[in-house]
Amino acid sequence: MIGGTATPNGTVTIGSKTVNVSNGGTWSMTVDGLSVGTQTLTAKQRFNNADVDEKPVTVTIVEGGTVVGVNQGPVELTRGASTEVPFLVQNNETRTNMKGSVTLTAPAGTTFADGQATVAASYRSGTSGDFRPYTRLDLKNGVRSDGNTKITFDLDTAGGNMVAGEQYQYMLNVTTPADAAAGSGQMGFTYAGDSSKGDYRAEGKTTTNLEVAQRELTAAVDSIDHAAGSAVLKGTATPGATIVIGEQSATANEDGDWSLEVTGLESGPNSLLVEQKIGNDTVDSKPVTVTINDAAIIGQDGPAATLERGERTKVQAQFETKGDVSRPDAQVTFTAPEGTTFAEGQNTIEGSYKKPGEDWANRSATLTGGEQSMDGKTYTYTFKPTSSTWTLPDASLLRWDIDVVTPVDAAEGTSSMTTKLEGTAVQGSFNASSSTRTTIESAEAPAPAPLVVTTPANDSVVDVKRPMFSGTGDEGATIEVRGKSGRLVATTTVQDGAWSVPASFDLNDNAYALDVFQKPLQGKESQTEVRFTIATNPLTTQLTADGRFLADVTKLAEIFGNATTGATVTVKDSLGNPVGEAEAVDGKYVIPVPPSLAHFGVNEFTVTQTKNDVTSDEEDVSLDYGTPAPIQIASPQNGDTVAKEGLTFTGTGDDGARIDVRGNVRAIATGTVTDGTWTAPVTLDLQNDVYDLRAIQTTKGGLTTQQPITITITDRTDRGPDGDGGVQRHG
């Protein structure tokens, strides 16, 4: 309801609705059809048929009425325990008899605890202060579902008085598993039902948070670069924790794994302290010793190898000395490239070495005691030359070849074989790793998907000058449509296995045989032929037109007939004004004639059909709406005062016509003219008042005539419903 003041006896309009300003300068109206949310309306004032001024009016429609959810949180959850999580609603309008249901959804990864058949309510006035119990608002008959992640309650205040501005709070027990993942979530709720003020619906949420569970720190040496004086340490910790070693740091990933390269290490033992920090607090630490030796061996990249599916391929590992290395005693571990294994039976590998300035020597570098893992992906050996004088000088190379087996169905891609050499020599200990790049090439390309032309169908007739060519083919392939002379007619690319493209220029009416080529990304080209005829006169069905009235006089008259399928059929009146149009389907069309575009008596129309910019000659058709007998009201008489009980309107009119007695919005009585007379009993419960009404007669084709009448209803002592069912009343 919107109201205000304006110039006395003027008018105020909002949208399509207009009201008169009273002698005292006041006005009010009800505006319908508003959407949820805030919208601005314009109220326009007119006086003596002239615009005076206008004012904006802002209206906010609240979804669900005047009970609203109030978001809460965050609430910290505890693993392996239940936590009370509140939810809150606010009542913005005094009401009684709230009855409905409440549904809540637990935060992700949690459930609602057992034993919550009833949840107590508490209230407070306003948005601050303590809450006090209010049992009428208790939630009852709680039922859990969906694996206890949802719970539903009944709400029935059985009267009660809920005052505007109050807030209502409920506490739900939420259980968090001991292994629940960290993160934020929310308990959502819907609080809906009916009350003395009508329907209400409130939605909201309470956010929750679950901290990351602290994990024990682990730390170990992964590799050492003796020559560079550095080492890589790896381990596990609390996800997101900071790992600190001296001045260097790293962050544990979401799985808790961390890796950190420590530089600036000195020859000999280096005692390091690995610390785990969460925030600014050190929560855990581990000591680690890294020994940098003078006897150093480093990994070299082996020669890249291409692996053949279904074959054994030799892959080589290489290492280099940094300084003299004498009488080594070491373990060598090979790890196969991804998707491969090592060939069985390689218990001994004969290696070789190369001193600076010399050729490779295939002796005294034997790996013995080979042990293969159960999955075939690692092989471990002992490297211990037997000569007491075995020594390699600085910058010498070592190499070993090992056979790798590649499955016949191995996926293409690039990986690496890694080799770890760890042990001691006279000069000290060493720990080195090498890598050899391997490649599995793409398998032989499969045959391309066949080329298929779907449209135009062979030997079909096409009624457009630029037909659409379409079909299926090999993904990504180029499609070309060419004439026998080689002229390109159309081209496109296959996407999602299909292709379509129109001709790039007009084709004359004629018979065609065109070649369609497919050029795939891989594999052989292919071609096929498509034959069709172009006939561009699109109007293949003779237009006919006729008119008819339906038995129901409230239904519109229709113009119908035959037309070319897909053509647009247009109906115009005798002055050339558009009446209606439709697309012909299955060679037929039907177009209704709006009553606003027709009149009593004979109406003349013209009908045309249009397709592909070609329009047919006009067809004439007429509809005779006749001259109906006028509507007359026999009783009650205009100005009568009548009793409400048994009130019936009677009169005369046109046989078969429908009679509606109505106010401004809807009918209060309905009847049909039979043998020239009609009777229309009142169907609404009307209160005592003065009513301005109209008796409307609807004759064939929906055309109407009407007669106004004003009556006064008396003989009712109790007050009726607020409103008159849409009937305009005086006063």
> What is the full DSSP assignment across 345-397?
T---EE-EEE-TTS--B-SS-EEEEEEE-TTSSEEEEEE----TT-EE-TT-E
Lowest mean pLDDT: which of 224-233, 254-263, 273-282, 493-502? 224-233
pLDDT tier, 676 (very low <50, low <70, confident <90, very high otherwise):
very high
CATH fold for domain 296-440: Immunoglobulin-like (2.60.40)
pLDDT over threshold 80, residue 727: no
Burial (Cβ within 10 Å: 0-12, 13-18, ≥19) of residue 444: exposed
pLDDT at 699: 97
Which fold, 632-714? Immunoglobulin-like (2.60.40)
Report the alpha-carbon distance of residue 469 to residue 719 in Å, rounded. Answer: 74
Q: What does the pLDDT look like over 524-570, one tens digit per residue?
A: 999 999 999 998 878 889 999 999 999 999 999 999 999 999 999 99
Instruction: Please check the confidence at residue 59 and state whether its pLDDT lies above 90.
Output: no
The class that CATH gives domain 67-210 is: mainly beta
- In angstroms, rounded to a whole number, what is the distance separating the alpha carbons of residues 187 and 103? 10
Equal fold, 220-292 vs 546-624: yes
Q: What is the pLDDT of residue 482?
A: 96
Mean pLDDT of 636-659: 95
In this predicted structure, the answer to whether residue 315 has a pLDDT above a threshold of 70 is: yes
Percent of the chain with pLDDT over 70: 96
Distances 622 to 117, 410, 542, 564, 599 between C-alpha atoms, Å: 73, 79, 19, 22, 12
Tell me if 269 sits within 8 A of 294, measured CB to CB. Answer: no
Confidence band of 250 (pLDDT split at 50, 70, 90): very high
Contact present, 625 and 603 (Cβ < 8 Å): yes
Span 467-477, average pLDDT:
96
Confidence check: pLDDT of 180 > 90: no
- Letter for the amino acid at 647? L
Residue 268 confidence (pLDDT): 80
pLDDT at residue number 721: 38
Instruction: With cut-offs at 50, 70 and 90, classify the pLDDT of residue 39.
Output: confident
CATH-assigned architecture of domain 546-624: Sandwich (2.60)
pLDDT band at 730; cut points 50, 70, 90: very low
| Tokens encoding 119 | 């949840």
Q: Average per-residue pLDDT in the chain?
A: 92
Q: What is the pLDDT of residue 1?
A: 62
Q: Can you give the pTM of this predicted structure?
A: 0.34
d(CA 29, CA 18): 8
- Segment 603-631 shows an average pLDDT of 95
Confidence grade of residue 71 (pLDDT, cut at 50, 70, 90) = very high
Q: pLDDT digits over 188-238, tens only?
A: 999 999 999 999 999 999 999 988 778 899 999 998 877 678 999 999 998
Which DSSP category does 162 fall into?
B
**C-beta separation of 211 from 78 below 8 A:** no
Q: Is 345 exposed, middle or buried (0-12, 13-18, 19+ CB in 10 A)?
A: exposed
Residue 181: which pLDDT band, with cuts at 50, 70 and 90? confident
- The full set of domain ranges for the chain reads 2-61, 67-210, 220-292, 296-440, 474-534, 546-624, 632-714
DSSP label of 509: S
Give the model's pLDDT for residue 295.
58
Question: Which whole number is the average pLDDT over 296-324?
Answer: 93
pLDDT at 729: 45
Closest by Cα among 507, 694, 701 to 592: 701
The pLDDT value recorded for residue 559 is: 98
User: Which residues, 6 or more positions from 456, have their beta carbon under 8 angstroms from its beta carbon?
Assistant: 462, 467, 468, 469, 530, 532
| pLDDT higher than 90, residue 419 | yes
715: confidence class by pLDDT, cuts 50, 70, 90: confident
**Would you state the pLDDT for residue 374?**
96
pLDDT (0 to 100) of residue 718: 41
Classify domain 220-292 by CATH number.
Answer: 2.60.40
> What are the tens digits of pLDDT across the range 76-131?
999 999 999 999 999 999 999 999 999 999 999 999 999 999 999 999 999 899 99
**pLDDT of 622:** 97
Please give the Cα distance from 187 to 86 (Å, whole number).
Answer: 9
How does residue 143 score in pLDDT terms, banded at 50, 70 and 90? very high
Beta carbons of 427 and 323 less than 8 angstroms apart: yes
